[in-house]
Structure 1
Amino acid sequence: MTAPNWHVFHGSGEPRRDGWDAVPPPMLARTFSGAPLVPPPRERADQPDQIRRKLGAGDIGAHQLRPDDLDVINAALLCRRPLLVTGAPGLGKSSLAYLIARELALGPVLTWPITSRSTLREGLYHYDALRRFEEAQLPDAGRVELADYITLGPLGTALLPYRRPRVLLIDEIDKADVDLPNDLLHVFENGEYQIDELRRIRAQRGTVDVFTHEGREQVSISEGFVQCNAFPIVILTSNGEREFPPAFLRRCLQLQLAKPERAQLERVVAAHLGDSVVREYEEIIETFIRRRDDLGTLPTDRLLIALHVLTRAAGDDLNQEGRKRLAERLMQPTESGG
């Protein structure tokens, strides 16, 4: 099926030759003017391995993305809006961030795994006041610079004024405290934030250098204020375990991932384990689909686990019934049923 002309992301897993340059400018309301521009991040040495772990090899675009899904994803990219991806565990929600980064050549993915204790400030930056105090007490301590104890968080780094957007994965936002979605509204709407500790010293020093979330590069912050130049590609994942405030949902486009059909499952298996595994274990794949439909949901990684173990046990003379019993023991639902 030919992709519509307005799609800049095809979900193929193949890098576009023109990368992000294929994406047209945003509407005026989503145009930002953060400056000066920050150099693009250095590629991580383990970036190819990170991509392979997330997406598999071969047909690494083998995800359960339907034409309707691609419409929503592309709308989020064109409109520079966060994308809230909902679905049962194991559907590849977080992998979408890596798929976009690879296809549009946007470099390393920034990740912010959410817990019940996560706060907006944690996502923006961390100020280590205790370490600063302790080091100031050392006998040979010289001048203790405030900026040396500030590190940008994943969200704070994504909002730096890069010419090309960073990809930010905010994973399992439904685990957050009830206040976090509302706390994100200003940042999502305005693409900016301030570092309070640096704002207080702006009269003495207008510009200071702080480390990014990756910890390998420093960037200059002027008067404690940060605004993006290209709004980041924000992928938020949710297992659908809670509802979000209407104001938060208005800032996002929403994508509901459905359970993959058999053909999609076979592509995922082939990407991670090879085409021969698909052919050899057709019956196990069919068993997985029946169990998933009976239970309501069953993570796709349970199928990958079962098939990987079966390939390792292939030399143990397991008959067809033995393989089936082993697979069924491994394809158990998670405790929450997801």
Structure 2
Amino acid sequence: MTVSNWHVFRGTGEPRPDGWAAVPDPMTARTFTGAPLLPFPEAGPEDSDQIRRKLGVDGIGAHQLRSSDLDVINAALLCRRPLLVTGAPGLGKSALAYAIARELALGPVLHWPITSRSTVRDGLYLYDALRRFEEAHMPGVAASNGAPDLADYLTLGPLGTALLPYGKPRVLLIDEIDKADIDLPNDLLHVFENGEYQIDELRRIRGHRPEVTVFTHEGRERVEVREGTVLCNSFPVVIMTSNGEREFPPAFLRRCLMLRLEKPERSQLERVVAAHLGEDVVEEYGDVIDTFLRRRGELGALPTDRLLIALHVLTQASRTGSATPADRQLLAERLMQPTDSGG
């Protein structure tokens, strides 16, 4: 991997001392003016544990990036554009969001897992009208204090939280967007282009209540929303993953940069194994890595995590001292099965 001088994200796994400050100011078209600035949430112990699970002990991730990959990733960061990451399952597409957050000191990653029922509204905010109605009609509630406060039933979603006016961007992982309903990509266009959204329930009451405090997606804090509108100050780092199961509308693709991750080569696999299982496993189980590469060539698609699973099981089995080399290979091949339904 060659790191160019203009790359602010280098994919090394090492946090930059200057963090996001290393990224130049955006072009005028991608400059936003949301205010007042909110305190940026720092990563807690649980966030650090999550990143360690995703990226391994030295933070190099589930996939090793090529120089051409880094060119596209850094172009997305500099231009403040969403990055659409495609490729076969198991290549570390989701892990990229955590690698960027760690290296550029961008705090906890916001995660929006997509299903066929997901809508833009789900990503922006949730309003539990039913629970508010039920609690408003509980015995004694109306008599004691009137209707429950609207703000107690509003929670920002991962996309809605990412667009809050922080002084530096949040990292938002929109996972498996190809599973979405056909309308979702087009529905995201306004949000991606303008960096803002409205909360209808708050817009309706802004005349007598212009400021309302609501929960963020993580539930760690409450933030003030004015006039029912949220406008970002620093456009979030948006990483969208796709397994290539569908095509996207041209208008949606124009607003994104696209990165296709290729299958890792042997040297890349060795670094991944070392990050998750240790250098000694690479040295002792080189024949199993060869087996993985052979089976991947035969099957066409074999996620990298199948290699990690096989190696972890083999290291535990080897402690008994009873496995012969032939047994080891047989067990490895049993564990390295394709993940598609036709396998």
After the TM superposition, which residues 113-152 of structure 1 pair with which residues of structure 2 at under 5 Å, given as runs? 113-141=113-141, 142-143=145-146, 144-152=148-156
**1:195/1:224 contact within 8 Å kept:** yes
Residue 95 of structure 2 is matched in structure 1 by 95
- Partner of 2:317, secondary structure, is helix
Please, what TM-score do these two structures have when normalized by structure 2? 0.96
Residue 163 of structure 1 is matched in structure 2 by 167
Residue 214 of structure 1 is matched in structure 2 by 218
After the TM superposition, which residues 64-103 of structure 1 pair with which residues of structure 2 at under 5 Å, given as runs? 64-103=64-103
Instruction: Compare 238-247 and 57-66 and name the one that shifted more.
Output: 57-66
**2:13/2:58 contact within 8 Å kept:** no
**Structure-2 separation of matches of 1:13 and 1:247:** 34
Whether 1:193 and 2:211 are equivalent positions in the alignment is no
Whether 1:319 and 2:334 are equivalent positions in the alignment is no
**Structure-2 separation of matches of 1:93 and 1:78:** 20
Q: Deviations over 1:133-166 (max 9, x none)?
A: 1111123322411111000000000000000100
**Structure-2 separation of matches of 1:246 and 1:48:** 37
Instruction: Compare 138-147 and 157-166 and name the one that shifted more.
Output: 138-147
- Partner of 1:148, secondary structure, is helix
**Structure-2 separation of matches of 1:218 and 1:183:** 27
**2:11/2:70 contact within 8 Å kept:** yes
**Structure-2 separation of matches of 1:19 and 1:25:** 14
Instruction: Quote the offset at 1:48 in angstroms.
Output: 1.4
Identity %: 75
Q: Deviations over 1:233-254 (max 9, x none)?
A: 0000000111000000001000
The residue type equivalent to 1:246 in the other structure is P
Whether 1:332 and 2:340 are equivalent positions in the alignment is no
Residue 268 of structure 1 is matched in structure 2 by 272
Match for 1:174 among 161, 174, 178?
178
**Structure-2 separation of matches of 1:42 and 1:283:** 42
The residue type equivalent to 2:235 in the other structure is F
Gaps of 5+ in 2: none
Residue 302 of structure 1 is matched in structure 2 by 306
The residue type equivalent to 2:330 in the other structure is R
**Structure-2 separation of matches of 1:100 and 1:249:** 22
**Structure-2 separation of matches of 1:336 and 1:24:** 45
- Partner of 1:311, secondary structure, is helix
The residue type equivalent to 1:33 in the other structure is T
**Structure-2 separation of matches of 1:240 and 1:280:** 35
Residue correspondences, number: 338
Q: Deviations over 1:164-214 (max 9, x none)?
A: 100000000000011100100000000000000000000010100000000
Q: Deviations over 1:243-282 (max 9, x none)?
A: 0000000010000000000000000000000001011111
**1:37/1:229 contact within 8 Å kept:** yes
**Structure-1 separation of matches of 2:33 and 2:110:** 22
The residue type equivalent to 2:69 in the other structure is D
**Structure-1 separation of matches of 2:43 and 2:67:** 31
Residue 45 of structure 2 is matched in structure 1 by 45
Instruction: Quote the offset at 1:39 in angstroms.
Output: 1.2
Instruction: Quote the offset at 1:4 in angstroms.
Output: 1.6
**Structure-2 separation of matches of 1:62 and 1:130:** 42
**1:32/1:231 contact within 8 Å kept:** yes
- Partner of 1:20, secondary structure, is helix
The residue type equivalent to 1:35 in the other structure is A
**Structure-2 separation of matches of 1:41 and 1:215:** 12
**2:176/2:241 contact within 8 Å kept:** yes
Whether 1:30 and 2:35 are equivalent positions in the alignment is no
Instruction: Quote the offset at 1:60 in angstroms.
Output: 2.8
The residue type equivalent to 2:324 in the other structure is N
Residue 286 of structure 1 is matched in structure 2 by 290
Please, what TM-score do these two structures have when normalized by structure 1? 0.98
Gaps of 5+ in 1: none
Q: What's the Cα RMSD here?
A: 1.2
Instruction: Quote the offset at 1:216 in angstroms.
Output: 1.2
- Partner of 1:68, secondary structure, is helix
Query: Do the aligned partners of residues 227 and 27 (structure 1) sit closer, same or farther apart at CA in structure 2, a change above 3 Å counting?
Result: same
